[in-house]
Chain A
Amino acid sequence: MSATFHWTALERTGLRFSALMADDPKALARRLQQRDPDLLDSLIEQYQYRLFRYLLHLTANRERAEDFFQETWVRVLERGHQYDGKWKFEAWLFAIARNLVLDWHRRKKPQSLDALAGTGEDSAFDVKDERAATPLQEVLADEQRTGVHASLGKLPAVYREVLVLRFQEEMQLEEIAAVLSTPISTVKSRLYRGLEAMRGAMTERAGDGGAL
């Protein structure tokens, strides 16, 4: 009885279901073609942090990231039949999100993603530091938060984007190339430049007395 209850509860949240689905892109592709809202519900829950973080890096603006977050999922529902399971679902999801941001930016002003670079002034990001328990550690964590945030704000969006996909999303170079619709050589060169720029910006920040 109890087992049945737990099973039903899990089914309701859809987490177990979507986790299984995400492991099998072909099965996920079939369900997406059916435009199943329950599947979408569970995918939204499952990918909320990753998609929102990616959109924040792209837009450097919380409100805009929220709008694009919603728009991305509506687009996933509408274009679900186009997902063929060739790539991981997250690669397809991020490609949709990216294209929406680029389309919006093109409509606004004809320019590339480079122009989306944030100023580093807003507090869109937080730095997780679970060890910061004491007031002193909290102050240090706060300094670190400001430092990392300011350093990231200095990076052009094209570099931030590949760094997110590689080092936060742990995507393969081929997957990143698919998300960005660019050759792998371009992805690599952006990663090398981005890494160097990030190291430089963070070291400079540390040298100025800020926390790395």
Chain B
Amino acid sequence: MNSDLHIGAQKLIAQQRVEGITREEEFRLAAHLAECESCAAFAREMEQALSAFRGVTAEVPRGLVNRTQLRVRLRAEELRERAPGRTLLWAIAAVSWALGVATAPWVWRGFEWVGRQTGLPKPVWELGVVLWWAVPALIAAGAVIFERRGRAQELE
């Protein structure tokens, strides 16, 4: 008895169900199964196990669908209520960015003038310009992070 033949046949039995086999392999397998009782039993066991597995069902608990639909609707409402606030936030950010770009030369000159009048070193008033730009953006980023953290806690 060639054990490789049986191992090969059993591999084909599994392969047939997982990824499929060629027509030629199908014929070869059928011919082997007609002659080999142990491999035929293996194929039967595999088919019975799969058929039992396919028969496993899960009864959905009563009311779960309704509860879920209600929860999803409430969440959708909540998201809708928050949406205008978020749009407004983005609009303000966009306007602020546009104004920032448009006024950048004057802001620069203004800081430069203040620096000259007060005798501040150049890096200090330059840092002032950077902060003038960065602080609003940092506040906005902080607000978004704060909101996301709140949402994550809600999910917990």
Chain A residues packing against B (C-beta within 8 Å): 35, 37, 40-41, 44-45, 48-49, 52-53, 56, 62, 65-66, 69-71, 73-74, 77-78, 124-129, 144, 147-149, 151-152, 163, 166-168, 173, 188, 191-192, 195-196, 198-199, 202-203, 212
| B120 CB to nearest chain A CB (Å) | 48
B45 contacts A73, C-beta separation under 8 Å: no
| A40-B69, A202-B45, A202-B48 known; A148 vs B53 contact (CB < 8 Å) | yes
Question: B103 on the interface (CB 8 Å rule)?
Answer: no
8 example contacts (A-B, Cβ-Cβ < 8 A) are as follows A41-B72, A49-B60, A53-B58, A78-B79, A125-B58, A128-B55, A151-B49, A212-B52
A45 to B68, CA, bound (A): 10
A77 adjacent to B76 (CB under 8 Å): yes
Q: Name the contact of B55 in the complex, choosing from A62, A129, A163, A173 (C-beta under 8 A).
A: A129
Docked complex Cα distance between A78 and B72 (Å): 9
A-chain residues with CB within 8 Å of residue B15 when the two chains form the complex: 192
Contact indicator A203/B49 (Cβ below 8 Å): yes
Known: A127-B52, A198-B53, A202-B52. A70 touches B71 (CB 8 A): yes
B19 near A70 (CB under 8 angstroms)?
A: no
Q: Are A74 and B49 in contact (CB under 8 A)?
A: no
Size category, B interface: 20 to 34
Chain A: minimal CB distance from B155 (Å): 8
Nearest-Cβ distance from residue B105 to partner chain A, whole angstroms: 39
Nearest CB of chain B from residue A135's CB, rounded to whole Å = 20
Smallest distance from the beta carbon of B7 to chain A beta carbons, Å?
A: 12
Q: Which residues of chain A are within 8 angstroms of B52 by Cβ–Cβ distance?
A: 127, 144, 147-148, 151, 202, 212
Which B residues are closer than 8 A to A by beta carbons? 14-15, 17-19, 42, 45-46, 48-50, 52-61, 64-65, 67-69, 71-73, 75-76, 79-80, 155
Check if B60 sits within 8 Å of A52, measured CB to CB.
yes
A65 to B60, CA, bound (A): 10
A126 contacts B76, C-beta separation under 8 Å? no
Shortest beta-carbon distance from B57 to chain A in Å: 4
**Beta-carbon contact of A41 and B69 below 8 Å:** yes
Complex contact B56–A195 (CB within 8 A): no
- Minimum CB–CB distance for B85 against chain A, Å: 16
User: Which residues in B have their C-beta under 8 angstroms from that of A195?
Assistant: 14, 17-18, 46, 49-50
A49: which B residues are within 8 A, CB to CB? 57-58, 60
Which of A44, A56, A144, A188 meets B19, CB within 8 Å?
A: A188
Knowing A56-B58, A196-B14, the reply to whether A35 touches B79 (Cβ < 8 A) is yes
* A residues less than 8 Å from B42 (CB atoms): 199
A70-B71, A196-B14, A202-B45 provided; 5 other pairs, C-beta below 8 A? A35-B80, A70-B64, A167-B54, A195-B50, A199-B46
